[in-house]
Amino acid sequence: MARNKQRDNPEINSSSMADIAFLLLIFFLVTTTIANDRGLSLLLPPDPDTMEQMDIKIPERNIFKIQVNSADKLLVEGEPLTDVAAIKSMIKEFVLNNGRNPELSDTPKDAIVSFKTDRGTSQEMFIEVLDQVQGAYYDMYAERVGVTNKQWRDIANDLSDPENKRLYDKGRGLKDGKVEFPMNISIAEPSKIGG
């Protein structure tokens, strides 16, 4: 006598699994904090298609040139430079010249710092040089209002305070809605390696 009885396999009720997975997904989306990377705050140039082609002649003396090749070698004003930190004082001398030295800028308003890299330039070198360039301007702004570089950056980060706004405008030389002491940094498109 063989038993021909079929056994029922026990099953797990999975009808609520989708609900549980959905609730877990919602929970993790709501409770997870996403890191907010600030990145570099740079003013990007206007779109070339929307900008009129303008032929602007800038006197050579008003351009301070910094170049970094694909091997992270630095060339400042046509001369090799090994100490990146020396850029800061060179820029301050260039910008604050006010026409005294015919080799340097006419005025802070006319001074432009041109920064060009190769495609192989490391991000670390790019940021290190850009920090020196911006640091030079922050030093000059801070000196104009009698604060330190760090205090200037704190002022610039909190312009909701009327006193900070006043100092910020004074440091940049804001008169009649025009900045007399702008941070003119031109970051050129990287050239190809070996180009």
**Nearest CA-CA partner of 148 in 179, 171, 117:** 171
State the pLDDT at residue 93: 92
pLDDT tens digits, 95-152: 998 888 888 888 888 898 999 988 888 999 999 999 999 999 999 999 999 999 899 9
Residues of the chain above pLDDT 70, percent: 83
Q: Which of 49-53, 62-66, 100-104 has the lowest mean pLDDT?
A: 49-53
pLDDT of 80 higher than 90: yes
**Nearest CA-CA partner of 137 in 86, 95, 85:** 95
Q: Where are the alpha helices (DSSP H) in the chain?
A: 17-31, 86-95, 123-145, 149-157, 162-171
Residue 94 binned pLDDT confidence (cut-offs 50, 70, 90): very high
What the block records as the tokens of 182 is: 């702008």
Q: How far is CA 24 from the centre of its chain?
A: 38
Q: Under 8 Å CB-to-CB from 184, ≥6 apart: which residues?
A: 111, 112, 113
